[in-house]
Amino acid sequence: MNYHNPVLLQEAIAFLAVQPGKRYIDCTLGGGGHTAEIIRRGGLVLGLDQDPEALSACPELEGLTKVQSNFIHLSEVAKKYNWYPVSGILFDLGVSSHQINSSQRGFSFQTDGPLDMRMDKSLPNTAADLVNQLPVSQLAILFKDFGEIPVAKMLAEKIISTRPLSTTMDLAKITKKWSQQAFQALRMAVNDELNALKSGLPQAYELLEPSGRLVVISFHSLEDRVVKQSFKSLADQKLVTILTPKPVIGTKNAKLRALSKI
Ligand SMILES: C[S@@+](CC[C@H](N)C(=O)[O-])C[C@H]1O[C@@H](n2cnc3c(N)ncnc32)[C@H](O)[C@@H]1O
């Protein structure tokens, strides 16, 4: 089975305007699907992923340097590897199919496993810690804000009366038809995904050379909102040109936005 089928591959590569011999950063390397195409076109890639399993599964490619890091540390990593300014930076957010399909990682509501969901095992809290320790009000806010679940409070109350929970199935039995949204909400909280994105995007802008491209693929309306606002703020300051007045839509609700640094 493929590690991960890259989403919006041709579109991402076209917006990155890959040129031979130029430097790129893939902030979410995963199985290296997007990166392999950049390299096939002659680009050189610094590839970050916070998940050590992703890094070891990603093939070794000539022209690719792999680094285990959260993109919240993007500037620091780029400086450490003397990899700036760059011609293009890609974010393909969320989790890979490999991570979802690995039951022991706890991302899937369809297979049983420990309620973990950390992309990087050094993160402080697992999903089990959150469902077992958060007060009902905070759990309800988490499900409402990150999962857009209309019955968030009811789910939070059910969890409180059933906990401790330790496996994905313990949770899925409670969340039932809201499982996909509830699991996604917990994953976003465990990995602090929106804050990483809010911090990573301005760092990416700084690392681009003039005319350099930034391409972001998101899968959640809250993520897309962060990307849209961050792009708009840079465009309002006349620092960038937005190349996608409307996002390009792909499979799995993917939305791609791209800009060019002025
Ligand atoms: C959707 S997958 C990327 C797939 C990749 N583009 C491919 O074609 O195989 C997202 C990857 O980004 C990683 N990731 C998510 N958030 C991250 C972050 N804040 N810092 C570093 N890596 C992150 C995940 O561990 C996962 O491997």
What is the Cα–Cα distance from 96 to 75, expressed in whole angstroms?
A: 24
Rounded to the nearest 5 percent, the helix, strand and coil shares of the chain are: 50, 20, 35
**What secondary structure letter does DSSP report for 59?**
P
What is the Cα–Cα distance from 181 to 143, expressed in whole angstroms?
A: 8
Can you name the residues that pair with 218 across neighbouring β-strands?
255
Strand ranges in the chain using DSSP code E only, listed in sequence order: 23-26, 44-49, 64-68, 86-92, 208-218, 240-242, 248-249, 255-261
Question: Does the pLDDT value for residue 225 go beyond 80?
Answer: yes
Give nearest CA residue, ligand 1 atom 14: 28
- Look at residue 252 in the predicted model and tell me its pLDDT: 86
Q: Please, are residues 143 and 152 in contact by the beta-carbon 8 Å criterion? A: yes
CA of 163 to the centre of ligand 1 (A): 31
Interacting residues of 140 by C-beta distance below 8 A, sequence separation 6+:
152, 153, 155, 156, 157
pLDDT band at 1; cut points 50, 70, 90: very low
- Chain-centroid distance of CA 173 in Å reads 27
Parse the chain into domains and list their residue ranges.
9-97+194-261, 124-190
What is the Cα–Cα distance from 184 to 163, expressed in whole angstroms?
A: 19
The pLDDT tens digits for 82-130 are: 999 999 999 999 999 999 999 999 999 999 999 999 999 999 999 999 9
Ligand 1 pocket (Cβ < 6 Å) reads 4, 6, 28, 30-34, 48-51, 54, 70-71, 92, 94-96, 119, 196
Topology of the domain covering 9-97+194-261: Rossmann fold (3.40.50)
Mutate to test the pocket of ligand 1, among 46, 53, 119, 217 (most ligand atoms within 8 A of CB): 119
Q: Which CATH class is domain 124-190?
A: mainly alpha
Question: Does the pLDDT value for residue 61 go beyond 60?
Answer: yes
Q: Please, are residues 200 and 91 in contact by the beta-carbon 8 Å criterion? A: yes
